[in-house]
């Protein structure tokens, strides 16, 4: 409807169109290259949709390649979660999963080639010295005293690094480029370092690991990538990407293009910070429904389709930007409004006894599962003498404009009869704890004669409903830019009300028949999904997002 069915044009598609038109390429090959050091988040979703989406639309290919050159931070659990998340989003990579580590031998051989050409050398300065020799943003660097080591010595040292003859930090391999370059990435960048670490893919086969800047262009070239897409912060690395490919014996030379990474307000999208939230238990895990991870959104009830549509709707450009989470919420509401079956769930039960309904009588009402989708069928909703309505739908002293129940007022029970409140029962503190009402038998599917109902509210049979726990999620952070204040830790902005548990909720029985992850609209409340932790004995539902609420908005205006 409002969101585009197919990805709109952007500068990358224009480049591809031109490359295809000029004959530079006959096919598009992209890749999604995550480092397996955390779960994928919404920012990765943008990259995934871009790279895989391009492959789909141009009938090309997109590889999934793990950029696993730093065993210290990586883990097998992450390589598994990443594959699961990419597939859940609806994409399939071309052929087998690739690993940069799978190219370690070739990468090593290219390093040897650079040494032989006099374009790389083993440096024996320590980390601190290397930093000093690198210079600053405004001052050029200086040559390392080891820069002019003879080729034979470099070859020997590098072989011994590989053989495990040195400790971490003793020697590194550097590309010999230009210590005076205004681009710091070109000041003899380190391309190999010693790491006596077990690697999740290669085990203990290697104790030297190539750096990203050396690994990435080679991996892209080996795979025949045509368009290597990455985020803006790598723009300064592009000259190095090209330098590597220009100086080794490899025919393919992919081109790198950069786009702006996704920022979302009220959210953090930094793997380091997300990992901190998990490690310090501010959330229950990477898949906590409040996390902006793919796994979190999945558990929260987001659909793959909604995330793909969202990614299309935000576009791809080179301008730093922060997207309003309202865009994401719009995408999931749009999907679920169209596709989610409806049901009724009472979050704060208030018992109503319908005095003119016989005790023990159960009438099974046939209610459409969706107001517009007849194909979704009907559900059976039992109506009995005792029902529950939401405590917030009754007001002893209703404000102006109130369209719910009040003493003596008439209300339509959604999908059922119109009833009139006849009495209320209060506890010692003056709280209303139960209501009595009378139903109008001539109002099932028909408007009442001679009077009008004040509104429509949802309800559930007291003994024919299913008890459940409903988790009401709200944004994890209470400020738009949680890491925008350098003097304050982002954890200070965690929303203390990001999770509210409604443990006494009751849901209509139709819901209990659905499997985990099923999504519903609980009428007048919002969209909800069955949490995977649910069992027959304990049903748990997660609120994905609320319905738009013009009444709540109006109430909020008057100050509250």
Partner RNA sequence: UGGGGCGUCGCCAAGUUGGCAAGGCAACGGGUUUUGAUCCCGUCAUUCGUAGGUUCGAGUCCUACCGCCCCAGCCA
Nearer residue to RNA within complex by CB, 35 or 287: 35
Nearer residue to RNA within complex by CB, 443 or 499: 443
Using the 8-state DSSP alphabet, how is residue 395 labeled? Answer: -
Nearer residue to RNA within complex by CB, 184 or 362: 184
> What's phi and psi for 86, nearest 5 deg?
-65, -45
List strand residue ranges (DSSP E) for 348-392, in order: 349-354, 363-368, 378-383, 386-390
Quote the CA–CA distance of 511 and 380 in Å, as a whole number.
Answer: 10
Q: How far is the CB of 66 from RNA (least distance, A)?
A: 9
Q: Tell me the two tokens of residue 548.
A: 């738009």
**Can you give the C-alpha Rg of the chain in angstroms?**
31
Q: How far is the CB of 535 from RNA (least distance, A)?
A: 28
Nearer residue to RNA within complex by CB, 294 or 499: 294
Nearer residue to RNA within complex by CB, 87 or 447: 447
Nearer residue to RNA within complex by CB, 346 or 499: 346
User: In Å, how far are 43, 76, 94, 312 from 48, measured between CA atoms?
Assistant: 9, 20, 13, 11
> Is 128 an annotated catalytic residue?
no
Nearest Cα residue to 214 out of 177, 259, 180: 177
Q: How far is the CB of 425 from RNA (least distance, A)?
A: 23
Nearer residue to RNA within complex by CB, 153 or 538: 153
What 3 state SS string does 494-507 have? ECCCCEEEEEEEEE
Q: How far is the CB of 538 from RNA (least distance, A)?
A: 26
Nearer residue to RNA within complex by CB, 61 or 173: 173
Using the 8-state DSSP alphabet, how is residue 341 labeled? Answer: P
Residue located via tokens 């040897």: 112
Q: How far is the CB of 247 from RNA (least distance, A)?
A: 19
Catalytic residue among 261, 318, 373, 524: 261
Indicate the helix (H) or strand (E) that contains 422. strand 418-426
> Is 35 an annotated catalytic residue?
yes
Nearer residue to RNA within complex by CB, 52 or 234: 234
Give the pairing type, strands 29-32 and 61-66.
Answer: parallel
Q: How far is the CB of 183 from RNA (least distance, A)?
A: 4
Quote the CA–CA distance of 391 and 431 in Å, as a whole number.
Answer: 11
Quote the CA–CA distance of 510 and 26 in Å, as a whole number.
Answer: 53
Catalytic residue among 149, 162, 176, 271: 271
Q: Tell me the two tokens of residue 142.
A: 């200086």
Q: How far is the CB of 311 from RNA (least distance, A)?
A: 10
> Is 469 an annotated catalytic residue?
no
Using the 8-state DSSP alphabet, how is residue 329 labeled? Answer: H
- Provide the sign of the torsion angle of the four alpha carbons 401, 404, 408, 411, taken in this order: positive
Angle formed by the axes of helices 212-222 and 104-116, nearest 10°: 110
List strand residue ranges (DSSP E) for 280-377, in order: 342-343, 345-346, 349-354, 363-368
Phi-psi region of 334 (alpha: psi -120 to 50; beta: other; left: phi over 0): alpha
Judge contact between 470 and 528, C-beta under 8 A. yes
Q: Tell me the two tokens of residue 448.
A: 């009442």
Catalytic residue among 35, 334, 523, 525: 35
Q: How far is the CB of 428 from RNA (least distance, A)?
A: 28
Using the 8-state DSSP alphabet, how is residue 368 labeled? Answer: E
Q: How far is the CB of 169 from RNA (least distance, A)?
A: 4
Q: How far is the CB of 315 from RNA (least distance, A)?
A: 3
Nearer residue to RNA within complex by CB, 12 or 468: 12
Quote the CA–CA distance of 211 and 244 in Å, as a whole number.
Answer: 12
Find all residues with CB under 8 Å of 392, minimum gap 6, and list them: 348
Side-chain-facing half-sphere of 414: CA atoms under 13 Å: 25
Judge contact between 288 and 41, C-beta under 8 A. no
Mind telling me the catalytic residues?
35, 261, 271
């Amino acid at each position: 409807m409002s969101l585009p069915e197919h990805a709109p044009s952007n500068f990358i598609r224009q480049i591809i169109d031109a490359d295809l038109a000029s004959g530079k390429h006959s096919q598009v090959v992209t890749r999604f290259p995550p480092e397996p050091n955390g779960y994928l988040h919404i920012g990765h979703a943008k990259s995934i949709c871009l790279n895989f989406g391009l492959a789909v639309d141009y009938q090309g290919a997109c590889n999934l390649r793990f950029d696993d050159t730093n065993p210290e931070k990586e883990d097998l659990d992450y390589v598994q979660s990443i594959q699961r998340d990419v597939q859940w989003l609806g994409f399939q990579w071309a052929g087998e999963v690739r690993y940069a580590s799978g190219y370690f031998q070739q990468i090593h051989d290219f390093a040897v080639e650079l040494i032989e050409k006099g374009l790389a050398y083993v440096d024996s300065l320590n980390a601190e010295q290397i930093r000093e020799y690198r210079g600053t943003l405004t001052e050029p660097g200086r040559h390392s005293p080891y820069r002019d080591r003879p080729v034979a010595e470099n070859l020997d040292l590098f072989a011994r690094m590989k053989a495990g003859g040195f400790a971490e930090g003793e020697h590194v391999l550097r590309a010999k480029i230009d210590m005076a370059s205004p681009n710091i990435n070109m000041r003899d960048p380190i391309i190999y370092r010693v790491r006596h670490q077990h690697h999740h893919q290669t085990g203990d086969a290697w104790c030297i690991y190539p750096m990203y800047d050396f690994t990435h262009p080679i991996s892209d070239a080996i795979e025949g990538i045509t368009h290597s897409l990455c985020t803006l912060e790598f723009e300064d690395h592009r000259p190095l990407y090209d330098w590597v490919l220009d100086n080794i014996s490899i025919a393919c030379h992919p081109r790198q293009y950069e786009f702006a990474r996704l920022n979302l307000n009220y959210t953090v999208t930094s793997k380091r910070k997300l990992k901190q939230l998990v490690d310090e238990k501010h959330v229950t895990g990477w898949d906590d429904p409040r996390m902006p991870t793919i796994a979190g959104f999945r558990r929260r009830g987001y659909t793959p389709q909604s995330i793909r549509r969202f990614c299309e709707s935000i576009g791809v450009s080179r301008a730093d930007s922060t997207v309003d989470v309202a865009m994401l919420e719009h995408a999931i509401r749009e999907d679920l409004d169209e596709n989610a079956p409806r049901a009724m769930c009472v979050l704060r039960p208030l018992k109503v006894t319908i005095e003119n309904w016989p005790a023990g009588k159960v009438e099974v009402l046939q209610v459409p599962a969706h107001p517009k989708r007849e194909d979704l069928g009907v559900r059976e909703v039992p109506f009995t003498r005792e029902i529950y309505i939401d405590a917030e739908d009754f007001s002893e002293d209703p404000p102006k404009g109130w369209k719910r129940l009040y003493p003596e007022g008439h209300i339509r029970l959604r999908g059922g009869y119109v009833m009139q409140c006849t009495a209320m029962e209060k506890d010692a503190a003056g709280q209303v704890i139960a209501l009595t009402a009378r139903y109008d038998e001539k109002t099932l599917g028909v408007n009442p004669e001679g009077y009008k109902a004040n509104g429509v509210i949802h309800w559930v049979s007291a003994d024919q409903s299913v008890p459940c726990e409903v988790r009401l999620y709200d944004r994890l952070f209470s400020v738009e830019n949680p890491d925008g204040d350098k003097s304050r830790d982002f954890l200070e902005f965690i929303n203390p009300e990001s999770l509210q548990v409604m443990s006494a909720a009751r849901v209509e029985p139709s819901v209990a028949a659905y499997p985990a992850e099923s999504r519903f609209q609980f009428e007048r409340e919002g969209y909800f999904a069955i949490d995977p932790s649910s069992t027959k004995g304990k049903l748990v539902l997660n609120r994905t997002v609320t319905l738009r609420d013009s009444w709540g908005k109006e109430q909020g205006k008057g100050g509250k």
